[in-house]
A = this chain, B = another copy of it.
Amino acid sequence: MNKNSKNLRVRLPALIFILELIIVILYFCFVTYDDQTNALLQNKTLPLENSLYQNYTFFADIQMMIFIGFGCLLAFFRRYGFGGMAFNFLVATFTIQWAILVQGFFQFCYDWKIHLGVLNLINAEFACAVVLISFGAVLGKTSPVQLLIMALLEILVFSVTEWIVVHYLKINDAGGSILIHIFACYFGLGVTFVLYRPSLNEGHSKETTSYQSDLLSLMGTLFLWVFWPSFNSALTLKGDDQHRAVLHTFIGLSASTITAFALSSMLSKNGKISMADVQNVTLAGGVTVGASVDMMISPAAAYVLGVLGCIACMLGYKYLSPFLARRLRIQDQCGIHNLHGLTGLISTFAGICAILVASEEIYGPSLYQTFAYRAPPEGDPHLAELQKLIPDLQAGLGRSAKEQALFQLAALAGTIALSAVGGLLTGLVLKIPFLAAPSDEQCFDDELFFAVPPDYNCVNGPQDVWSYVLKDTSKTAEPE
């Protein structure tokens, strides 16, 4: 087989079947039911108190974001709709299966078994979102073989990072601004840095949208927008924390949305709104509230975070992304650095501020539930007093606000480092021959990997049709 061949006929099935074999063997050996799904443990519990009912809505909402939201959003290229939507489908599905194993090993494992329930699925969905965000950096420039390998490696690096920041550094990041967005961003940038294609800096003839693809992509944005409150609140504490997370996410997204329309018009010479801005920049607020989404930051602060995130994201699209492409060899296809990196950084620092000002005056004794590691350690008399107010309060590490803030910073630095290095190494792996990587001309083109329908060559209207006419009528005039 020619190492430059793009024929997937052997490579894709071979890779998938090998991965499936590994997965099913590992599932068979190591994956079992947790105590909410094991029939053997149910005769003492009330069925309607099963953890399924507390989590199912959030699980299903995030599924909508992953498969339909991302799927439609990534279908914005006029001739890469199949690649965007179907590869998103393939990669997301594989990623969640794989993450159930890898995260399961780190977080849900005892007695030599990974115990499976819907909460594992939610965690795996978060990991999947990471991979799909990174996918945005290389959209249209990779083969499905490369994408599956990227997902395989990214989940490994992500799960290690997750264990470090959540279980070792023990940070607060309910909406995943550090762990999801920043990780995904710098990993993706690492990959795209290695996969740099100089000729693409001049643009590419198929790197445009069509009227229908723009509408489809906007629909994807709307699905992400509508369900983002579920995403940001899925892993908070139940009760008022989760309720605040929903409110803050909604407010933050609202703010970034109208700001995006304003800036899009303002930064355009003829004042016309760009659909790319409506598809991407409107979502910035969902990221910027992420790290403080369950804290008592006030609705006004959530609003301001939405506005700030939008401004940073828009300026990034207009000025930073071109700079990164030309000067630093980082071709960030979907501008993930603007929507997830810059906003993630803003969110992290907002979270740190929120942590620094958090006190018992604002939160009451719930402070030590939301900030679990600030709870007094076992044996501390303050713990006993608090437990009179909140009987099931867990002992913590007795961290001060400043200490917690420092851990957040450590997590940020560690995440950026691990993700960037992981991305670079993964990019090197993806450069291995025989992975069916498209040539420069073949990028952004469904015809490379999909059987396309008969009208494929007319998905852009008169230019394409005109070429047929011209061939035959030998006219030289171009359409207006």
How far, in whole Å, are A250 and B244 apart by their CA atoms in the complex?
30
**Which of B9, B253, B307 is A265 in contact with, Cβ under 8 Å?**
B9
**Which listed segment binds B: A71-79, A172-180, A333-341, A402-410?**
A71-79
- The answer to the question of A168 belonging to the interface, with a C-beta cut-off of 8 Å to chain B, is no
Contact status B455-A223, CB under 8 Å: no
Residue of B24, B41, B239, B278 near A42 (CB, 8 A) is B239
Whether A52 and B243, one on each chain, are in contact in the complex, defined by CB atoms closer than 8 angstroms, is yes
Whether B451 and A20, one on each chain, are in contact in the complex, defined by CB atoms closer than 8 angstroms, is no
A192 interface residue per 8 A CB criterion: no
Distance (whole angstroms) from the CB of A305 to the closest CB of chain B: 11
CB distance from A215 to the nearest CB of B (A): 5
Within 8 A of B (CB), among A9-66: 9-10, 12-13, 16-17, 19-20, 23-24, 27-28, 31-33, 36-43, 45-48, 50-52, 54, 56-57, 59-61, 63-64
- The proximity string for A residues 203-242 relative to B, scoring 1 for CB distances below 8 Å and 0 otherwise, is 0000011111111101100110111011000000111111
Are B8 and A271 touching (Cβ within 8 A)? yes
Report B-chain residues with C-beta under 8 Å of the C-beta of A75: 215
Report yes or no: B68 in contact with A226, Cβ–Cβ below 8 A. yes
B261 touching A47, Cβ below 8 Å: no
**Residues 252-295 of A contacting B (Cβ, < 8 Å):** 253-255, 257-259, 261-263, 265-266, 268-275, 278, 282
B61, B268, B455: the one contacting A9 at CB < 8 Å is B268
Judge if A327 is at the interface, Cβ distance under 8 Å. Answer: no
| A455 adjacent to B465 (CB under 8 Å) | no
Nearest-Cβ distance from residue A67 to partner chain B, whole angstroms: 5
Q: Does residue A365 face the partner (Cβ distance < 8 Å to B)?
A: yes
Smallest beta-carbon distance A227→chain B, Å? 7
CB pair A453 B210 closer than 8 Å: yes
Given A7-B270, A262-B13, A471-B477, does the pair A86, B275 have CB atoms closer than 8 Å? Answer: yes
**Contact in complex: B299, A365 (CB < 8 Å):** no
- Give the docked Cα–Cα distance between A65 and B278 (Å): 19
**Interface residues of A toward B: which range?**
35 or more
Q: In the complex the two chains form, is A250's CB within 8 Å of B367's CB?
A: no
Interchain CB contact (< 8 A) of A39 among B86, B246, B300, B366: B366
- Could you say which of A89-97, A374-382, A413-421 contacts chain B? A89-97
Q: Which of B28, B118, B282 lies in contact with A243, CB distance below 8 A?
A: B118
Residues of chain B contacted by A227 (CB below 8 angstroms): 60
| A42, chain B: closest CB distance, angstroms | 5
Q: How far is the CA of A451 from the CA of B271 in the complex (A)?
A: 9
Q: Quick check: B242 and A50 within 8 Å, CB to CB?
A: yes
User: Is A390 close to B, CB under 8 A?
Assistant: yes
Which segment of A156-164, A342-350, A456-464 sits at the interface? A456-464
Assess whether A258 is in contact with B16, with CB atoms less than 8 Å apart: yes
A463's nearest neighbour on chain B, judged by CB, is B454
B215/A82 in contact, CB under 8 A: yes
A268 and B449 CA atoms in complex are apart in Å by: 11
B477 touches A475 (CB 8 A): no
Chain B residues with CB below 8 A from A428, complex form = none
Q: Point out the residues of chain B lying under 8 angstroms from A8, CB to CB.
A: 265, 271-273
| B298 lies within 8 A of A32 (CB) | yes
Q: How far is the CB of A256 from chain B (nearest CB, A)?
A: 9
Cβ-defined contact, B272 with A42, below 8 A: no
Q: Does A438 contact B (CB under 8 A)?
A: no
How far, in Å, is A238 (CB) from chain B's closest CB? 4
Report the separation of the CA atoms of residues A462 and B456 in the bound assembly, to the nearest whole angstrom: 9
Q: How far is the CB of A55 from chain B (nearest CB, A)?
A: 10
Contact yes or no, B451 A273, CB < 8 A: yes
Task: Please state if A238 and B296 are interface contacts (CB–CB under 8 Å).
Answer: no
**Which residue of B118, B226, B239, B278 is within 8 Å of A86 (Cβ)?**
B278
State A68–B218 Cα separation when bound (angstroms). Answer: 10
Instruction: Confirm or deny: A362 has a beta carbon within 8 angstroms of a beta carbon on chain B.
Output: yes
* Cβ contact within 8 Å between A52 and B242: yes
Q: A469 within 8 Å of B by Cβ?
A: yes
**Is A121's CB within 8 Å of the partner chain B?**
yes
A96-B254, A454-B461 are known contacts; what are 20 more A-B pairs with Cβ within 8 Å? A20-B307, A28-B298, A33-B247, A38-B296, A41-B364, A48-B238, A50-B239, A52-B242, A60-B230, A63-B226, A67-B225, A72-B219, A82-B273, A90-B261, A117-B243, A208-B454, A214-B453, A274-B450, A458-B462, A473-B475
